[in-house]
Amino acid sequence: MSSFHNDEGHERSVSDTFSADERTLYEGSTADDEGYDDGRPSGELSDRDHDILESEDERERLLTQKPGFFGNKSVKIGKNEGKKAAGKAKRGRKTGNEDSSSLMYEMEDRIGLSSSSVSRNSSESDEQRLLATSTQRKSRRKRIWRRFIIHGVIVIVFLILVFAVYRISVRSKPKINAAAMVSNGTSLFAPTTILISLDGFRADFLYRDLTPTLNKFIENGISPKYMLPSFPSVTFPNHYTMATGLYPEAHGVVGNSFWDPALQKEFYYTDPNRSLQPFWWGGEPLWVTAERQNVRSAIHMWPGSEAHISHIEPAYVDKFNGSEVLPLKVDRILGLLDMPGPLDVGVRADQPRPQLIAAYVPNVDSDGHKYGPNSTEIRSTIQAADDMLALLLVGLQQRNLTDIVNVVVVSDHGMATTDASRVIQLEDLVNPNDFEHVDGWPLFGLRPKNIKDLEHLYQQVAKKAESIPSIEVYLKSNMPERYHFANNERIAPLWIIPKAGWAIADKADFDVEEAKKNGDQYNPRGVHGYDHEHPLMRAIFVARGPAFPHKPNSRVEPFQNTELYNIICDSIGVEPASNNGTLRLPLKPVGLHTDPETPPNETPSDPVETSSFFATTTLPSLSSLMASASGLEDASASGQLNAPITTPTTSAPPAASSSSEPESWWQWLTHKADGVEEWVDGFLHKHLPNNGEDTPSL
């Protein structure tokens, strides 16, 4: 056992002075220093002791504290503190065992703290370590989650971009069928069709020696004598019918203007804000069908193409521009064909070459309204449309595409001449104040303010129509079935439909009586929208190309324009959506246009201007009438009088009526006498005093 000398010089053992714990501490320290003597008195801290204390203190500081984290300052014990502790140890030996025990506790903690202070500091240190560890773990978790989210977002964005690029590449890449691809010498072409609509181009315009290109096109292609439009025979419903294969009652565009009671909105064709919302346009048009099946399309001003239908856009959409000259339309079409194909060098996904090109040409319709379908001005417009087609066909020939690209030329309806003498005042038929909305033109769809008044109003107008043969009156319930114009809420419940060449106008637009007094002219001079089966409303269809492998000049039976959608879909190799058409390619010719049994070209007569009938006709004398009657009797007896008589106030009847019984000479004479009598009564009524009441009639 170790011993040491006290101040009195007596040797004492460690066990006599310290407790058991103190002896253990002291002996351990002595054992560590055994064999080491630096010449210092026993019990005094050496430099090594100071170094040990400093090392242990530094280790504890690093384990329990982060400098500056909790705002605590590290405690360092150097040699000065060791000397102070040694001095206290000396004083403890003088004051006895109690002070010695205190000294040993101070030396054990190395900073002179009591056991309770050590315990308290140890607890606080543990809490600080736990708090620091927890905070570090939370911070580490936050950093991990933040990095995970950032990387996740990056991955998701990358996948979206990859998917978008994939979709673009898929859509821009047409279905390539090696057997269907044909080379023009410089590029491979998939099935491609150009569809051109000549708005307002009446079928008999082809018989006026104004269209050499179209007539030659017919000789090389396939066509019916005419194509029937759909009812009503106006532009927007018919162009969308050709694009969808649906009747107007099915696709919802039931007129150029109409009211939707469910939406409480009005459609008006010349106002984009009221016509280009997709909710107006039902069904699936050609460009949507093509794009769904990865066949790219280019639509040039076609009605409805700017409406974002089904949120599927054509590859190219050209907005309507009524002032665009026709050669620019040709340049646009040929420019689209000149784009690189899917297998060509330099092809771009964002600039594909379309397989469907549909172009709208408004010029003939515009001038037909302005000048009339039989005017001098319309002749030059018809010729200009034919010249445009010539430029296109020459361009195809120069590119060696004549037998590779299909070309289909159509129109949407015909045109009839109007005149101030054939305008009916709306106020003479109904009281406009009884109706909430008036739809359409030249036909009138009426929506009563009170639906309970519908039957009464219908009977009222129908009664007046009995004495006005130039109009027809229908409810939706008795609308002719062939019109296919009843099964849609956008169709007004009551309709007044004028005969071809007649018009209905309210006084705000055209006062009939004032116009007659002043000799005013009614505008427009040409009108359409009548019975779609009337000869004046007939349209055209002519096709040529690899999808129409028929003999040149082939003739098919007339069909309605609901069939066009299927024909175009088949020509570019896409599957049509459900529609009202039934024809599919190949078409089935019934012969050639040059066959003897082919019906002759028919040029229907426009209505005659009743206001000028008697002014331009010299009234015959009674003797001349009798002489004429005698000659007619002889002609009738010999069978030479076979043609029906067309009255001045009506248009020529359809061809089907030409087989009716001929009018006898006596009936003809009676009608002429009635006409003379009416003219005389009118003249006397207008020019003689007392309204001619004292003058006997003839």
User: Which two structure tokens, joined as six digits, stand for 387?
Assistant: 């010249």
Listed residue (536, 516, 517) closest to 604, CA to CA: 536
Annotation says 270 is catalytic: no
Question: b or e along 213-236 (b: 16 or more beta carbons within 10 Å of the residue's beta carbon)?
Answer: bbeebbeebbbbbbbbbbbbbbbb
Listed residue (492, 487, 581, 529) closest to 284, CA to CA: 581
Percent helix, strand, coil in the chain, to 5, is 45, 15, 40
CB–CB of 608/569 below 8 Å?
no
d(CA 679, CA 664): 23
Handedness of CA 15, 18, 20, 23 (dihedral sign): negative
User: Which two structure tokens, joined as six digits, stand for 696?
Assistant: 């006997």
Q: What angle do CA 518, 520, 522 make, to 5 degrees?
A: 150
39: left (phi over 0), alpha (psi -120 to 50) or beta: left
Other C-beta atoms closer than 10 Å to the C-beta of 644 total 14
299: left (phi over 0), alpha (psi -120 to 50) or beta: beta
Burial of 535 per CB tally in 10 Å (0-12, 13-18, 19+): buried
Listed residue (351, 344, 358) closest to 193, CA to CA: 358
Other C-beta atoms closer than 10 Å to the C-beta of 563 total 21
CB–CB of 324/341 below 8 Å?
no
Angle between helices 376-398 and 326-337 (to 10 degrees): 20
Coil, strand or helix at 606 = coil
DSSP 422: G
CB–CB of 572/548 below 8 Å?
no
Task: Give Cα 589 distance to the centre of its chain.
Answer: 36
Q: Report the chain's terminal Cα–Cα distance, integer Å.
A: 169
CA distances 530 to 233, 334, 394, Å, are: 6, 36, 37
Coil, strand or helix at 262 = coil
User: Which two structure tokens, joined as six digits, stand for 417?
Assistant: 């001449």
In the set 193, 211, 213, 235, the catalytic residue is 235
Q: DSSP string spanning 511-542? A: -HHHHHHHTPPPS-SEE--S-TTSGGG-B-EE
CB–CB of 408/563 below 8 Å?
no
d(CA 37, CA 147): 60
CB–CB of 601/566 below 8 Å?
no
Residues with catalytic function: 235
